[in-house]
Amino acid sequence: MRLICRIPPNNNKICLRNTALAAMIRRKNMKHPFRSAVAAVSSMVMLTSLAACGGSDTAQSDEKELTISWYYSSGGGDTWERAIKLYKKENPDVKINEVHTSFPQMQKNASLTLQADDAPDVAMYNQGTSSVGNLASQGILADLSEYADKYGWTDTLPESIQTVAKYKADDGGVMSSDGEWYGVPINGEFVLAYYNQDMFDKNGIAIPETFDELESAMQQFVDKGITPVAFEGNETASQHLWYQLVLSKANRQFVDDYQSYEHDVDFSSEPFTYAANKFSEWVQKGYLPSNSGGLVAEDMITQFCAGEYPIMFSGSWWFGRVNQDGNFKSTFRALPGNEKLNTGATGKLWVVPETSKHKDLAADFLNFLLSKDVQNMLATEAGLPFNASDDYSIDSLPDELKNPLKTFDDMQDSVKEFNTVFEQLLDNDAIALYPDWPSAGMYDALNSALQGLINGNSTPEQATGEIKAAYEEGKSDLGL
């Protein structure tokens, strides 16, 4: 679809899809019929007279050049730098320009960065309606659906993971399994239970395999004077635990309704009432630290690695930290009760700006990231791949992909155990995204509501009401 551009006085280029412009005209028509009729005629003149910017009309260059932007880790073993090194070796005729950025930089400046004259051809960006979806709705990102068909990404990636890549650009950028491909997931992440095996053994408590066993284990620790769960209420742990409890009483249609607005969500239904009540119950029983409402993620992981708590409910991104800093034997499980639906998604999405003149090359590079070699590299480093070989190993990797820091070389047994937990969730197509994704305001609202439960300032009903209000406001902001 062609993008219509205007240049305002501040010289910042603004591109609107035809459908978005039409929607603006319709909204104005409702309030000012005569004035809007004039505006509509003027807008139609714009449609026919202004030159297209980007869009499907972007001329493709025959030049073999590709600019790649990603969140760079300067520690010396950057995963994507190694992948690019192998891609260069396999494609010596392609000139690669590398752009190192960070998550905060892209989160703040993505709309400008990806429309600039020197925009990259392929970039890493955050997934979700408020991120990739928002840029797709503005026409900033290229629709990659034809490449998904060409390369068979629909066969390579589980359906729940494909949803993270798909957005309805003409409907506000809502993430939806019925949308078009505006990004490519390369590896995953998920929320799980980390267990300090040594603390369990020392106290004669078995690692829980069911939800009842989990609650029994936590109560046994409390009875021994040990607060069982390392926790924080200021970043993501509280909302992830709440959503895990929600999902334990939900189904896939619930996830589609909550995340993609397919149908109205009933906040008085069992998933929400159960989660709020169970969360509050765990606070009251002393399963979560009484001061966790004032803690952040760094506090939580530091305390868990120091052996102060036997359990931590958090993300796969802590695997390396637990193994490197924790002076104890650790083990990992999906949170009991979440084997069929579990909080998680992709690490990040790789996107292609609409202005890129090297879309075919960009898609080829993205397909390379889903190749067995790169996916096997991720597997050896607990990178949670989607397309690794069953017999992956460090020895089988091309030299370009081997980690020069050897960070994970001595923990391959633990890595394989960790990957197996994720593989089981993929086999169940259980990945159910994150609770703050439906709209930009959900992150703060969830933390605020759940801090109320942690601090004893709110009832479960009040907390759920606060979450509902933020959800409905975000839905309204999208015009849904």
Six-digit token string for 38: 């004039």
Beta bridge partners of 69: 99, 123
The residue that leads in pLDDT, 187 or 2, is 187
**Would you say residue 347 has pLDDT above 90?**
no
- 80 and 138 assigned to the same domain: yes
Cα dist from 315 to 247, 297, 319, 321, whole Å: 16, 11, 8, 11
Segment 381-411, tens digit of pLDDT: 999 999 999 999 999 999 999 999 999 999 9
Cα separation of 361 and 64, whole Å? 8
9 occurs within a structural domain:
yes
Report the mean per-residue pLDDT for the chain: 88
User: Would you say 206 and 194 are in contact if contact means Cβ atoms under 8 Å apart?
Assistant: no
451 occurs within a structural domain:
yes
- 322 and 438 assigned to the same domain: yes
243 occurs within a structural domain:
yes
Average confidence (pLDDT) over 240-246: 98
Give the burial string for 92-120 (b: 16+ CB within 10 Å, else e): eebebeeeebeeeebeeebeebbbeeebb
Closest Cα to residue 463, out of 233, 241, 258, 276? 276
Segment 279-301, tens digit of pLDDT: 999 999 999 999 999 999 999 99
Lowest-pLDDT choice from 39-43, 137-141, 155-159, 160-164: 39-43
Cα separation of 269 and 258, whole Å? 12
Provide, rounded to the nearest whole percent, the portion of the chain with pLDDT above 90: 80
383 occurs within a structural domain:
yes
- 162 and 213 assigned to the same domain: no
- 197 and 157 assigned to the same domain: no
pLDDT level of residue 62 (50, 70, 90 thresholds): confident
Structural domain for 158, as ranges: 65-187+347-407
Cα separation of 177 and 475, whole Å? 18
Segment 162-211, tens digit of pLDDT: 999 999 999 889 999 999 999 999 999 999 999 999 999 999 999 999 99
Per-residue confidence (pLDDT) for residue 12, from 0 to 100: 35
The gap from C-alpha 440 to its chain's centroid, in whole angstroms, comes to: 13
- 80 and 149 assigned to the same domain: yes
DSSP labels, 34-84:
HHHHHHHHHHHHHHHHSPB-SGGGPPPP-S-EEEEEEE--TTS--HHHHHH
313 occurs within a structural domain:
yes
- For 208, counting Cβ atoms within 10 Å of its Cβ (0-12 exposed, 13-18 middle, 19+ buried), the class is buried
User: Among positive and negative, which fits the CA dihedral 276, 348, 149, 421?
Assistant: negative
Say if pTM beats, i.e. exceeds, 0.85.
no
Per-residue confidence (pLDDT) for residue 291, from 0 to 100: 94
- 244 and 339 assigned to the same domain: yes
- 223 and 326 assigned to the same domain: yes
Cα separation of 173 and 195, whole Å? 39
- 328 and 354 assigned to the same domain: no
What's the CATH number where 256 sits? 3.40.190.10
pLDDT level of residue 10 (50, 70, 90 thresholds): very low
Beta bridge partners of 90: none
Segment 253-281, tens digit of pLDDT: 999 999 999 999 999 999 999 999 999 99
pLDDT level of residue 57 (50, 70, 90 thresholds): low
- 203 and 315 assigned to the same domain: yes
331 occurs within a structural domain:
yes
426 occurs within a structural domain:
no
- 334 and 351 assigned to the same domain: no
- 332 and 222 assigned to the same domain: yes
Segment 77-120, tens digit of pLDDT: 899 999 999 999 999 999 999 999 998 899 889 999 999 999 99
Helix ranges (DSSP H) in 229-291: 237-247, 252-260, 270-284
Among 392, 407, 422, the domain boundary falls at 407
415 occurs within a structural domain:
no
Average confidence (pLDDT) over 36-63: 45
pLDDT level of residue 461 (50, 70, 90 thresholds): very high
- 137 and 208 assigned to the same domain: no
**Would you say residue 41 has pLDDT above 50?**
no
Q: How many domains does the chain have?
A: 3
